Each structure stands twice: as structure tokens, then as C-alpha cells.
Structure 1
């Protein structure tokens, strides 16, 4: 890309992908939320009208983000992070409860969700910490401090009963892995997830039995220098504790709606009638979403022609379940296009991140890609019934000002950082 002295040295491929996603998202919000004829695209009584206003303010945000000096984001990363933490703490005093979660501030006739903005603030803080120390995540002390940066906002969000947003913070481990975190941590994470699924799907004995086979097989056949027998026994005892802990957490701590979502995903309910009733009541949204997507076929029913979408069969379809509108009205081809756009955006961000000259910009770029990937994977997987139902928005697609603005800030800070690299080239 050649130097442009007019100051427009931005990665236009990333910006074009962003515009395509926002535009296509707005069309689907309009289709999922309209009732009868559309008199104005700015009808504030309709979600699509509000989203139109949100999009206008989004472009104002973009101009402000790109107008600031790139060094501003690195210099004030810690301040932005602290303000974000304070905004999360303030919810316990001034927060508005919606659907059981105290995660919003009521401002006039609208709401603002600080947990969405905390993601870009945490990304800046992680990038700042790792670049200041020039850390490669090899020492336990560095790992513990980096973990603390993401645990603080995640814990505050969890205490507000917003488990969906909390899960996204696990995406930061991809960033740590890129920056030198030992592979053993990912192996342990995958192993623990497998152990938890086995304990819930079958029982503790089965989970521990499978874990024991893997542990001792690795002990006797997977290592050149065989450690003492005490090590695999200690690991096996830890697996027993984890398995019982998972069962206890599931039976005694999780709320009923959370247990039902996991139960449906793992098909823990063996009674077909009870399973059907669970789908029809607790997880009605998911059941209708699956129907809408499957009815779309190859090419879909056409824009605003989806019978299940226009019939409002999927509650709140314009928010977390927006992808079901794509599936019904645009079919497999339209759904594939959305997936391709997201994949292209993620790959582009990763490509640009590797080109960065500073560790701050590179780490931040990986934070952006990881957060967007987590939202995309969880939302689409949830709508299709591939993973448990977790209420998080599809980036740039789902209705909502907080999510749209937060994702825009997250992405365009990186666009500005990358622009600084181009201008110095």
C-alpha cells in the first residue's frame, strides 16, 4: 500500500468488511423486527429505526477514534481500563436489571451495557502490560498478572448474572498462547472440558476411568524419561476432585435455566416427552431458531419473506438470534456468505497483527481477533444448537447500540494502530 499524504492510510479491506457486516446486519434486523409496512427507516418505535440511529453514531465514533493519535491508546490504556472497572462496579449501585442481569445503566429512554465496552478496555490493558514488560509469558509471575487483568472484569460481570459475557474472556488465552504461553495450559484446558462433559453426560466413574487411562498411558508410553508413579496418581486424584466438583456445581449452584440449556445440549434428559417439553418451554427460542434455519434451504425464502421470521416465531430474533433470520431468508448461500465475511475479517486482522512493529499493536490485534472469534463462534453455534445457549450478540449484526459501538471501538482502535504502522513505513 502506497503512502498517502492526505492521512487516509487505513486498511480499507478491513473497513469494507466492517461496512458489509453492518449493512447486512441492519437489513436482517429490519426483516426480523418490522411489523407491516415500513414508513421510515428511522422509526424510533421499531428496532430497525433505533439501529439506524445507532449506526449513524457509529460513524461519528469512527471519525473520533481515527482522529486521535495512535499513541493515545497505548499511553492511556491503563486509565481506560480503570474507568471500565469503575463502570462495572457502579452497576451494583446504579445498575438496571433486565432479564435477571444487572448489566445496564438506564440513561433517559435507552440503556448502556458497560460489559461490552470492558472488552476493548481489557484488550488495551493486556496489550499495555505485555508491551511494557516485553514479556513472553514464560514466567509464572507474568502469567498470574496477565490473568488478573482479565479475571477482574470477568468476575464483576459474572456477579451481575451475565454469564454469557463472562465466557468471552476465555478468548484472551489465545492471545497469551501467541505471546509464548506454554502449550501445556491449552492441553490442560481441553482435558478439563472433556472431563466435565464426561462427568455430566455419564457419571464420575466414567470420567475418572477415561482420565485414568489417558494419564497412565501418557506416563508409561508418552515420555522418554518416566517420572515417579506419584505424579500420575496425584493427577488422577485431582481429576476425581474436578469431576465431583463439576457435578456439585451443576446440581447445586447453576440456576434452573442454565441447567436446562446444558441438559438439552448434552441430551441429559432421557425421557423424549420431557425433552420435547424442555424445548417447547425453557428453550423455545432455540427450537424455533433451528426450525427457521432449516426451512431456508439452499437459497432462502427471500428478503422479508421468511414465514417464521415475519410471524415472530423466534422471540427477540433481532438480537441474539439474528443468524436464524439469515438462515431462513437467505438460505445456506446467505449464511455461508456471512461466515465467509467473518472469516475474512478475522484472517485480515491476524495478518495485519503479524505486520505490526510494536508488541502493543500486535497483542491488541490478537485481542480483537480473539474476542470477535469468540462472539461469532458462540453465537452461531448457539443459534444452530451446536453449543449451549449463551446470550451474546453477533458482532456488527445483532440489534443494540452498546454492542455495535463497543465492537466498532474495538476494531477501529486497531485500524488506527495499523494506520500508524503504514504512515511510519
Structure 2
């Protein structure tokens, strides 16, 4: 009996696309044993045919004509690893409408247009999978949709950007300032030539939107996520955090509360005893809490050619099994709820506050008076050092407080003559 071959088209031959091609090649000998058939890349869509031909050493699979792929009924799976919103969105919608199954690693697209794409897949009962869109090679979307589906999830949070984690690790372990750690990350290839999406938290924000949507069964889009990056974090902030038994990490946090979903990305102090505090360099980790499983953590490489390709190929294999079993489209959009998304000013967090004040009697009492006025409870006040200009540096740790109240208190404090400068406010993770 002739062995069945399922044909796929690869859209893009950049870092991830090349990785997918390599992983599929490496799996060729075992595919039939694993899946019951072969998977073959029959077409690769690229912009520059000559450049791609040099990379592959072969131009027989290459095309720059999308219609050639979407109109080919023998191609059953489309693998989109181009990135960006357009034309990736149009290509995916075309493929789904043509009854083809789609695998994508495109977090930008899913975080904004996930509902539209999943609905299009549902109309033709096609599989639409996106494991690689969050945390590279770490399996998290599949577990949330399947293995952990028996839970009501209340929190999903973690380190979901390797570039910023590498930078903060170097600042913590080597005492580097931000600009020097960023330069090192760029030199070693951890940071792009334009690192804005990473260091400003945008990349992590897209992943938080996707994770929240899947974990809480309610749509959260990129614009719902409050975002702060790490560009203002200093070596002094990290040193003071260490003295208090904490590390600073860029955390993506999503919580399902009685008042609605909280979704934000920001640098936060986290106790050095927390498992996430030990996640260093370019590694990622996602921490989930459910009513049945309680706490679980997923750890691994969050980006890169082969880890991301691992997640893409995992989705391809899942689709192939569905095709052979005649059960495609069995897990579609899981956002059956319509939960409100809270504004950041309505969330509650603890805060680390570093400020310079006049070094005289009564100043600390004045500060606590302002805090009390806006329901800010002070857990700890430490005077760090006296300056030559008769100012003292003070560090304050608050109890949990409503963000809007804390910001109002900070605004009033900054207008007091005794407060010379508010250097930093950083949220603190935990109770």
C-alpha cells in the first residue's frame, strides 16, 4: 500500500521558517511511525527567490506567488512564519476559507485579530493552531486548552521575553547599567537592531493578551494590556531590591478576579525565593494557578530558531493526526465568556518607592500623612543614605493599594517642598 503524504506550504524562510524546515527534515525517518504518514513541504513562499535559493541550495520549492499555494488543492496545511499583520492576516484568512489548516507563530496577529481568525477556522472546521506564538518552545497554549481544561484558572503570569530577562540578569549578576546590558544583548544576538518591542514591553504584552484569552476563556486583545518596559530600571534599583530579598523581573501578569480580568506587563520586585526569580538569561517561564491543579510552572527557551520551530512542528503533527482521524476543528475558539477587562488604576499591587527628601525632622511624618489620606499603608520605610545637598534617600515599601489611589498620593507628594525628587516607583509581586 502506498504511503500517504500530507503536503504543506511554508510562508516565510526567515529564522523560524528555516528552523521548521530543518526540524521536519530531521523527523523524516520517524514520521510514519509517529503519525502514520509523511508530511512534506511542497511549497515555500518567499519575497526574494534568489536569496532563498542560496539558503536552501535548491529553488524547486520556492515561489513568490501566494495564489499558487492557496489555489493548490493538494496543499492541506499552511504554516505562517512571516510575522507582522499584513499580508499574513489576508493569507491566513484565504487559506482557512479554502479549507486548509493553519499553523502560525504570529503573536502580533493573534493578539489583535485572534477572534476573526478563529471564527474563520470554525466556519470551515479547519484547525488553527498557534502554540509558538507564546514562549517559543515552551508548551503552554496546548496545556491550557487541553491538559488543564478541567480548571478554573485565576492567574497566569511569568517571564515571556528572553531579551529583557537577559538584560535584567546581567544587571543583577554583573551590576551593569541598562544601556550596557542592552549593548551586550545586542552584541550576543539576544536583542534586535531595533529592540523597542522587547525593552518597552510590547512583545510581552501581546503574549499576555493571548495567554489571558486562553486561560480565562474570554477575549483579551493587545490594547487591553497595560504595558511598561524596563528602560528606567537602574543598577541601584536592583541592588536595593536584592537587599530586601527580591529580584526585579519584567513580568506579564493576567488575573481573573470577581471584578474582571487584570492584564499588564511591567518590571516588578519578586521575592528571591519565588521559582520565577531563578529564571535567568534568555529563558522564559510561565506560572499558572488553577482551582484544581493549584500551581504549575512551565520553563524553557522562549525564543530562537529551533525552540520556536519545535512548537510549530508540534502543531503540524497534531493537525496531521486530526486529518487522519477525521476530527479536524475539534478545538476551536475557547473564548465563550465576555469578562470585562479592568483599567490599571483599579488594580491592586504593593509598591517599591525610591525618593529624595529634605533631611530634617517631620518629613517622614509628612509623607505618611499624605499616604494615609489616600489609603496607602506603609509596610516599611528605610533611609538609605544622606546626600551632600542636605537631602536623604528614602525607600518605601507599601502594602497592597489601589493603583489609582497610589498615583494620586505620589502626585501630591511630588508637589510638597520637602520632597526633592521621586526617583522610582516599581510594583511588587505578591501579597
Could you tell me the TM-score, scaled by structure 1's length?
0.26
Hey, which of these two has a bigger chunk of helix by percent?
Answer: 1
Asked which structure has the greater CA Rg, the reply is 2
Hey, which of these two has a bigger chunk of strand by percent?
Answer: 2
Bigger RCO (CA 8 Å, 6+ sep): 1
